[in-house]
Structure 1
Amino acid sequence: MADDAGVERGEDDECLMLDEIFPVYESSVTDAGTPRPWSTITVRLVGSHPLWGHHLWNAARALARYLERTPTLYRGLNVLELGAGAGLPGLVVAKSGARNVVLTDYPDRALVDNMAHNAAQNGVAHVVAVRGYVWGRPVEPLSARGAKFDLIILSDLIFNHSQHRALLWTCERVVAPRGCVLVFFTHHRPPLAQRDMAFFEMARETGWACEKVLTERFAPMFPEDAGEEEVRSTVHGWKLTRVSGGGD
C-alpha cells in the first residue's frame, strides 16, 4: 500500500461546467481523426437530499475521466454502480460501450427516479437499469438471472465507515471471477482519514488485492470546511480484484 502511488493530475484538465443543478460533463478523450461517439453528458441532480445525492462529487468527476481512458475494463461487459447518486460514472461507461449497466442507490423514490431520468436524458435507457438497493442486502434484485458484474463502481462511499463490511459483502457476491471494483474517494474529514482507509484493510482481510491507480487534485468541494485543504481537495482511486474466497 503506497499512498503516493498512482497517477498525478491537476485542475488544468478540468472538464466540468456547473449550471445550477444540471452539471455538464465534457468528454476528456480525443481520438485524432476518429469521431467520438459522444461529447457531453448532462446530469440532473436532486435539488436537496439528506443522503448527499444533490452534489456531483469530485470523485465522480475523476472517476468519469479515468473510465474514459480505460475502456477495456467495461467495453462489451456488465457494470454495476453502487451509491450512484446522479450516476455520472455509470453513464460514461454506458455511452462508451458497456453491454449492460445497473445504477443503484438507496431505495428512495427521488434518487431512483433521478437516475432513470439521467439515463433517458442521455440516450442510454436501453443499456441502463436503475435499482433501489441497500448495501449488504440480498443481491438477487441487482441482475437478471444472477449475472455477475465485470466492473463495480464505488464513488465517494467509504466515508460511511459503518457500511464498509456491507459494501464488500455485496461486491464479493456480484463481481465476476476476473472482474474488479474501482473505489474513488476523498478524505472529506481529514482527522478520520485512517478510518476511511480501514476499508482497504478489511478488503485485504476478506480476499481482495488493492492497488492505487490515481491521485488527482481539485478545488475543494466545501472551502469553508475544517481540516487541511490539500487533503480535502485530493481524489484517490483504487482498484480491487479478488485473490481468494468469494461469496456464494
Structure 2
Amino acid sequence: MALIARLSLAGASETDPEDFFSSALGIIFPDDVMNQHGSADQGLVYTSPRLPKPLHITLADPTADKDRYLFSHYLWNSSLLLAELVEAGTLGLSATGEFASPVQQDQAAVAVDAAPNRDFDIAGLATIELGASTALPSIMAALLGARHVVVTDYPSDVVMKTLRQNVVANTQPSFSPSGRIVAVEEGVQVEGHEWGELDTPLAIGHRHAFDRVFVADCLWIPGKHRDLRRSIGWFMKADAAARAWVVGGFHTGRGSMCGFFDEGELAREGLEIERIWERDCDGVDRAWVTDRGVEDSTERKRWLAVAVLKRVAST
C-alpha cells in the first residue's frame, strides 16, 4: 500500500486553481509523490485499519516568517513512515499489514540491512519526539501502549498551540485499539524544545529519560545537525537497549541531510548507527548511500532515509 494512502483532506474544498493543480499532480504525473500534506484551511484525516476510528489532524497557520520557515505546519512523509513502523512493530505486523514471524521479517530485511518491523515495538516504553510538527508518530505510540510520551517542537506559540490541540484531540481512549491510554498516568506531555538548548526545565528533568527518540524530517537544515545530535544524545537513555529512530526525506537534496550521519560527529554525543537504509513510498527498500550522483527531483521525493541509532558500545 502506498505511504500516503491513509491520508485524506478534511475541511472546505480548495478553490484556488493553483491548489487544484497541486492536489492533482499525482494523477497528471503518476510518478510524482506529494511529500508534504495539509494546510491551515484543510486539515487531514488519517485512517488506519488498526485504529477504531480515524485521527483528525489540524495544521498550524503561521504568519511570522520565523514560524513559516520551520515548516511545522505540514505533515511530512517521514512522519507517516515512522508512525507506520511504530504501528507495525507494536502490533506484530509485516510490511504488508499481515502478521509475520520473526524469521520472515529477518529474511525481508537482510538484503539492505533494514530493521525488521518487530524492532519498532514501543509497548511499555518512554518516548520523546523532536521537531514533532503534527506528532503523528507520538500519537500512534500513545494509542498503542507507550508508558510515557513527550512531544516537542520549536517553542513558537502558534506551532505549540496546534501541536497541543492535535495531541489532546487524538490521544483519547476511544482511538486506541485497547480502549485505554497507558501513558495517561504519567501524561502525554507537549513541550517546547529548541535543539541543543539543554539548560531548560524539560531538558534538566529528562536527561537520559527515554527508551526511544523519534526524529521525522528534521535533517534538511545542515546547520542544525549538531544541535539535533546533542538533543538526541541528551534525552536518550544511557543504556544498550535505547534507540533513536531517524527518518528523513531527500526533498532538499541528499547533500543537505546526509551530513547528520557523520560517524565522528555522532560519536561525540555517544551515538552510532546500528542500521540505515532507504525506503520509497511503496515500501521498497534499498541500501543507503551518501552519493547517487544527479538525482531527479521527482524520483528523489519518493525516497526516505531510515536510521536506527544506538549508544556507542563501551570498551
Structure number with higher relative contact order (C-alpha < 8 Å, ≥ 6 residues apart): 1
> Is 1:44 matched up with 2:58?
yes
Q: Gapped runs of 5+ residues in structure 1?
A: 1-9, 30-35, 219-225
Contact (CA 8 Å) 2:47, 2:53: kept in 1 or not? Answer: yes
**Whose helix proportion is higher, 1 or 2?**
2
Shift of 1:200: 0.9
Change (3 A) 1:194 1:123: closer
SS at match of 1:45: coil
Superposed CA offset, 1:118-175 (max 9, x none): 1211134943101111100116414756561011011000111111111111111111
TM-score by length of 1: 0.79
Partner Cα separation in structure 2 for residue 162 and residue 234 of structure 1: 22
> Is 1:23 matched up with 2:44?
yes
Change (3 A) 1:12 1:61: closer
> Is 1:11 matched up with 2:16?
no
Contact (CA 8 Å) 2:221, 2:256: kept in 1 or not? Answer: no
Change (3 A) 1:194 1:205: farther
Contact (CA 8 Å) 1:189, 1:232: kept in 2 or not? Answer: no
5 Å-filtered alignment, 1:28-177, equals: 29=50, 38-48=52-62, 49-71=68-90, 73-124=121-172, 126=184, 127-138=187-198, 140-142=201-203, 144=205, 146=207, 148-176=209-237, 177=239
In the alignment, which residue of structure 1 is the partner of 2:310?
Answer: 241
Q: Gapped runs of 5+ residues in structure 2?
A: 11-40, 63-67, 91-119, 173-182, 283-294
SS at match of 2:211: strand
Partner Cα separation in structure 2 for residue 145 and residue 12 of structure 1: 33
Change (3 A) 1:114 1:142: farther
Q: Which amino acid aligns with 2:74?
A: H
> Which aligned runs of 4 or more in structure 1 are off by greater than 4 angstroms?
142-147
Partner Cα separation in structure 2 for residue 195 and residue 205 of structure 1: 20
Shift of 1:18: 2.2
SS at match of 1:68: helix
Larger Rg: 2
In the alignment, which residue of structure 1 is the partner of 2:111?
Answer: none
5 Å-filtered alignment, 1:161-240, equals: 161-176=222-237, 177=239, 178-190=241-253, 193-202=254-263, 204-206=266-268, 207-212=271-276, 215-217=279-281, 227-240=296-309
Contact (CA 8 Å) 1:200, 1:210: kept in 2 or not? Answer: no
In the alignment, which residue of structure 2 is the partner of 1:223?
Answer: none
Shift of 1:47: 2.5
Share of identical aligned residues, percent?
Answer: 25
Partner Cα separation in structure 2 for residue 142 and residue 41 of structure 1: 29
SS at match of 1:65: helix
Partner Cα separation in structure 2 for residue 217 and residue 123 of structure 1: 26
Partner Cα separation in structure 2 for residue 232 and residue 12 of structure 1: 12
Change (3 A) 1:99 1:143: farther
Contact (CA 8 Å) 1:187, 1:232: kept in 2 or not? Answer: yes
